[in-house]
Chain A
Amino acid sequence: MALPNLILIATFAYRPLFANLQYSTLNWTLGSETATAVGFGNYVEFFTSDDAPRVLGTTAVFTVFTVGISMVLGILIALALNQKLRGTTFARAAVFAPYVLSGVGVGLVWMFIFDPGYGVLSWILRGVGMRSPEWFNDPQLALTMVIIVYIWKNLGFCAVVYLAGLQSLPSDVMEAAAIDGAGPVRRFWSVALPLLSPTTFFLLMTTMLSSLQAFDLIRIMTPLGQGTSTLIYEAYLQAFGAYNRAGYSAAISVILFVILLLLTVGQIRFVERKVTYS
């Protein structure tokens, strides 16, 4: 029974992986039927050129900010949504809605909001006598813009998962802490947060993997990748953006794969030790 599954996995998961490894050792122009073997040349080029600090730096900034802010805001929103107040059902739906929207659509709408000429944000800023920043032309602002939109789109996921975690906390433990005189802040820091550690661990894993593979918003909002070229987007630009360097792109993909693998194994081996499952 396992054989069909193994064949499917080998064909659709491992085959592309190994093919990509092979391509990463070639100087191959996409569309060409021939390529020349360059060994580790593509890797050497990446790590000895300006590409490595630029792309790895952008990837690190994007990932740290999107994961960190999404998780912090996610738990704060979850705490608010966990209150028994009127309208929380609507609020939960509203918070989660952006997560299920198309990244392309979200990108297009936010491009209009950020447009320095006639965007909504520009209009608001003009109203208070300020000039709109050049969100699309300044590389640092472009990265900030994409981070803001990415967080807005994916925040709902963190909030809803944290909300589910909060609602599954054992009420007797929380009540005992309250009886012992712990205030709301103390109960959150000393009881709820440690008990939420499996949820936090799950979110850390999933949001980090998602952030490292974020593509659609970057593609739509900053097609040149000026300031926003993360590893995955650089891999795209190199192969398909204009350069057609499929071999070099494959090498960048392998580097991304190794980073993802190391982060996942590292989190399982070291971070999970601090997780309290019961």
Chain B
Amino acid sequence: MTSPFDRRRFLELAGLGSAALALAACGGPSTGPAATTAAADIDFTNVKPAPSIDYWSSHPGQSREVETQLVAAFNAANPGITVNLITAGATYEDIAQKFQTAQSAKSGLPGVILLSDVWWFRYYMNNNIIPLDSALKLLSVNTGDYRDSLVKDYQYAGKQWAMPYARSTPLFYYNKDHFKAAGLPDRAPTTWLEFAEWAPKLKSSTQAKYAYMYPALAGYAGWTLQNNLWAWGTGWSKDWNITCDSDDAITAMQWVQDSVYKGAWAGVASKTATDDLAAGIASTTLSSTGSLIGILTTAKFPVGVGFLPGGPKSTTNVCPTGGSGLGIPSGITKEQQLTAAMFIKFVGEPANAALFSSATGYMPVRKSADMSAVLAKTPQIQTAIDQLAVTRVQDNARVFLPGADQEMAKATAKIVTQQGDVKSTMADLKKTLTTIYERDVKPNLKG
């Protein structure tokens, strides 16, 4: 019997390997220090818009239909220009994966990309998106009419990196029938401590398994739990200082754990908390305003919405902003970038912002958007708009550290599904988040 690896075979494989090595050297990143300056502002003087661009969306808030309508309206209003609506995934993460792959392949980039609150900063650090300032100025976009806090979310190093589009906050959703049966007032609780008093009444007077359902950890646990942490006077971080192991944070997360184990009135959603609410499994939950139209449609009981509760330290309601905006890749032509900016301007026009909001429940991003017809149909949207007054910019740790959302979800899972020790879990989380910051963010922060 002859060996399968004889000299001839070895030489063949060596030859193949050498050829492959040579080919391998042709692609991938160049090695060297990270870029120290962000993508420069674009000079659009004498640039003509490209005839065609793609818009990558995940149709957040079941917006496929209204997005198709908006794209068709843009194409009709701009003869000779076509925007192609591309379903680039089902979630923000799907789009990010596709976009980063296209970046690495240096081909197939869209003109406009939907980017969520946790992704745009990474694109900024990688020089994947352009600042929009010059394009907005050229197209006379009235940025002052956009809701201030939503526009500011995309500002860094004195530049505007995206514009708000499908912007949301979490809302407190509740089953009005359950509240009535429990003899509770028809409103959201002012604080979590107040809700802790209500919860046993809800459990004893309804068929619901839980008085409150924490959103699924695989979703955006780090987003909604900011409300609890802020209510207890702390957060995941303060600027770039990770504070998730502070005494207040431990107290807040201990309260969360106790709601699941000691009080046993709260559960953790396996998939979608609003589905659990609609199915009557839970009496209350937190979810995005983007879930509003969906829950109102599916629930067979009157749904109440309210501000997110405050807590023992924060006397007012506290709520993070969220959702997604629109940005423009740096790796496409100026002509395509100009067309992209025109499209961003178009979908942000007050009438279009109102149309998008009415179809999804997302907040109207323009102050002058006429919401009277929308509010007559869905008055609950007013709560989301009013809640903007108590919104805060999210913690840096949650939105700017790659993978932080996942690490926060894992830590939370340990606390609320495995009854892990809160103090050590939060200490471990701080260590992980600090490592991410030191390794992946700090070296890429540009002057």
- The reply to whether B20 and A242 form a contact with Cβ atoms under 8 Å apart is no
Interface 1/0 per residue, B276-310 and A, CB below 8 Å: 10010100000000000000000000000000000
Complex Cα–Cα for A30 and B403 (A): 13
Q: Tell me, yes or no, whether A17 is within 8 Å of chain B by CB.
A: yes
Q: Tell me, yes or no, whether A99 is within 8 Å of chain B by CB.
A: no
Q: Tell me, yes or no, whether B271 is within 8 Å of chain A by CB.
A: yes
- The reply to whether A243 and B23 form a contact with Cβ atoms under 8 Å apart is no
Complex Cα–Cα for A137 and B417 (A): 6
Complex Cα–Cα for A138 and B418 (A): 7
Interface 1/0 per residue, A15-54 and B, CB below 8 Å: 1011101110011111111111100000000000000000
Q: Specify which of B24, B126, B413 is in contact with A18 (CB 8 Å cutoff).
A: B24
Residues of B near A194 (CB, < 8 A) are: none
Complex Cα–Cα for A46 and B218 (A): 24
- The reply to whether A9 and B16 form a contact with Cβ atoms under 8 Å apart is yes
Closest residue of chain B to A119, judged by CB?
A: B270
- B328 → chain A closest CB, angstroms: 15
Closest residue of chain A to B440, judged by CB?
A: A29
Interface 1/0 per residue, B116-145 and A, CB below 8 Å: 001000110111100000000000000000
Closest residue of chain B to A114, judged by CB?
A: B270
Given A15-B23, A240-B97, A241-B406, do A134 and B16 touch, yes or no (CB 8 Å)?
A: no
- The reply to whether B16 and A19 form a contact with Cβ atoms under 8 Å apart is no
> Considering the complex, which residues of chain B in the window 401-441 have a beta carbon less than 8 Å from any beta carbon of chain A?
402-403, 405-406, 409-410, 413, 416-418, 436, 439-440
- The reply to whether A137 and B25 form a contact with Cβ atoms under 8 Å apart is no
Q: Specify which of B23, B279, B440 is in contact with A11 (CB 8 Å cutoff).
A: B23
- The reply to whether A34 and B33 form a contact with Cβ atoms under 8 Å apart is yes
- The reply to whether B126 and A29 form a contact with Cβ atoms under 8 Å apart is yes
Q: Specify which of B21, B123, B216 is in contact with A31 (CB 8 Å cutoff).
A: B123
Complex interface: stretch among B99-107, B312-320, B371-379: B99-107
Residues of B near A22 (CB, < 8 A) are: 24-25, 28
- A233 → chain B closest CB, angstroms: 13
Closest residue of chain A to B21, judged by CB?
A: A18
Residues of A near B409 (CB, < 8 A) are: 224, 226
Residues of A near B217 (CB, < 8 A) are: 137, 224, 226
Q: Tell me, yes or no, whether B93 is within 8 Å of chain A by CB.
A: yes
Q: Tell me, yes or no, whether A111 is within 8 Å of chain B by CB.
A: yes
Given A31-B123, A243-B402, A244-B122, do A26 and B413 touch, yes or no (CB 8 Å)?
A: no
> Considering the complex, which residues of chain A in the window 120-148 have a beta carbon less than 8 Å from any beta carbon of chain B?
134-139
- The reply to whether B209 and A117 form a contact with Cβ atoms under 8 Å apart is yes
Residues of A near B32 (CB, < 8 A) are: 34-36
Given A14-B17, A18-B17, do A31 and B268 touch, yes or no (CB 8 Å)?
A: no
Q: Tell me, yes or no, whether B79 is within 8 Å of chain A by CB.
A: no
Residues of A near B268 (CB, < 8 A) are: 134, 137
Chain A: interface residue total (CB-CB under 8 A)? 49
- The reply to whether A34 and B34 form a contact with Cβ atoms under 8 Å apart is yes
- The reply to whether B402 and A244 form a contact with Cβ atoms under 8 Å apart is yes
- The reply to whether B403 and A118 form a contact with Cβ atoms under 8 Å apart is no
Q: Tell me, yes or no, whether B29 is within 8 Å of chain A by CB.
A: yes
- The reply to whether A241 and B403 form a contact with Cβ atoms under 8 Å apart is yes
Q: Tell me, yes or no, whether A105 is within 8 Å of chain B by CB.
A: no
Residues of A near B46 (CB, < 8 A) are: none
Q: Specify which of A28, A30, A36 is in contact with B33 (CB 8 Å cutoff).
A: A36
- The reply to whether B122 and A31 form a contact with Cβ atoms under 8 Å apart is yes
Q: Tell me, yes or no, whether B77 is within 8 Å of chain A by CB.
A: no
Residues of A near B45 (CB, < 8 A) are: none
- The reply to whether B28 and A118 form a contact with Cβ atoms under 8 Å apart is no
Q: Specify which of A18, A36, A116, A243 is in contact with B270 (CB 8 Å cutoff).
A: A116
- A217 → chain B closest CB, angstroms: 15
- B177 → chain A closest CB, angstroms: 18
- The reply to whether A18 and B20 form a contact with Cβ atoms under 8 Å apart is yes
- The reply to whether A31 and B99 form a contact with Cβ atoms under 8 Å apart is yes
User: 7 closest Cβ contacts across the A-B interface?
Assistant: A14-B20, A243-B403, A31-B100, A137-B417, A136-B270, A18-B24, A19-B24
Give 28 CB contacts A-B under 8 Å: A7-B19, A10-B23, A14-B16, A14-B20, A19-B23, A21-B24, A26-B28, A31-B103, A32-B29, A32-B127, A33-B29, A33-B30, A33-B35, A34-B31, A34-B33, A117-B276, A117-B279, A118-B281, A137-B268, A137-B413, A224-B410, A241-B406, A242-B402, A243-B402, A243-B436, A244-B122, A244-B402, A244-B440
